[in-house]
Amino acid sequence: MATIKARPFDFTLDPARTALIVIDMQRDFIEPGGFGETLGNDVSRLQAIVPATARLIGSFRRAGLTVIHTRECHAPDLSDCPPAKRERGSPTLRIGDAGPMGRILIAGEDGADIVPELYPIPGEIVIDKPGKGAFYATGLGEILQEKDIRQLVFAGVTTEVCVQTTMREANDRGYECLLAVDATESYFPAFKQAAIDMITAQGAIVGWAASVDQIAEALN
């Protein structure tokens, strides 16, 4: 066991029962020409967390712990993409349209894949998810049960959408959730801060927050 001076109070980490979940660090969200940019966002904010996220992944790898990567993407025939999701907003390219990195958010296309700096190594789990939450319509719950995981460390994008949604799903399933604050980002700085505040409020109502260095120090 290791104690992390987290927000809003100490988090007691049990490495043997902990996994890292890296949410949607995909080219479509992080690189120019992808889904994030078609929605009018400045993707450079998300690019900036790649080095810290790589350090966090490295610390889990060195400790021999489970690393799980997720990708928000859809089947090529869009059968798992509700029309309400595809038609939302006024992006220049919609989910399934052809962009510079292939069809936007479609499984198997270059844009839907994870950025090269954070690419999964053999043995790591990659979960394709059609929703914002990583438990919805995926095998994540069963995988965590099989591995007897009880604590989840979260990184990835975007803080207030897929990261927070997955943390809330995990919290409702009884997992203790810790967010790595410098390994998560939003296109909107105020939304990132608000999400962290909402997660940690009321005595960690959804979970805890700590820095990559604090987490890495507890693991290595």
**Residues found near ligand C5J in the complex (CB under 6 A):** 24, 29, 72, 157-158, 161-162
Query: Taking the complex as a whole, how short is the minimal distance between the CB of residue 160 and ligand C5J, in angstroms?
Result: 8
- What's the rounded Cα separation, in Å, for the pair 13 and 55? 18
Query: Taking the complex as a whole, how short is the minimal distance between the CB of residue 69 and ligand C5J, in angstroms?
Result: 12
CB 219 within 8 A of CB 2: yes
| Residue placing its CB nearer to ligand C5J in the complex, 29 or 208 | 29
- What's the rounded Cα separation, in Å, for the pair 122 and 131? 25
Query: Taking the complex as a whole, how short is the minimal distance between the CB of residue 25 and ligand C5J, in angstroms?
Result: 9
- What's the rounded Cα separation, in Å, for the pair 46 and 36? 10
DSSP 58-78: HHHHHTT-EEEEEEE-B-TT-
Which residue carries 């914002």 as its tokens?
A: 132
- What's the rounded Cα separation, in Å, for the pair 192 and 171? 19
Query: Taking the complex as a whole, how short is the minimal distance between the CB of residue 98 and ligand C5J, in angstroms?
Result: 19
| Residue placing its CB nearer to ligand C5J in the complex, 28 or 218 | 28
Which residue carries 């100490």 as its tokens?
A: 10
- What's the rounded Cα separation, in Å, for the pair 192 and 196? 6
| Residue placing its CB nearer to ligand C5J in the complex, 182 or 185 | 185
Structure tokens belonging to residue 117: 């700096």
Structure tokens belonging to residue 163: 């990261």
Task: Tell me which residues are annotated as active site.
Answer: 24, 129, 162
| Residue placing its CB nearer to ligand C5J in the complex, 31 or 218 | 31
Query: Taking the complex as a whole, how short is the minimal distance between the CB of residue 207 and ligand C5J, in angstroms?
Result: 17
- What's the rounded Cα separation, in Å, for the pair 177 and 167? 7
| Residue placing its CB nearer to ligand C5J in the complex, 104 or 157 | 157
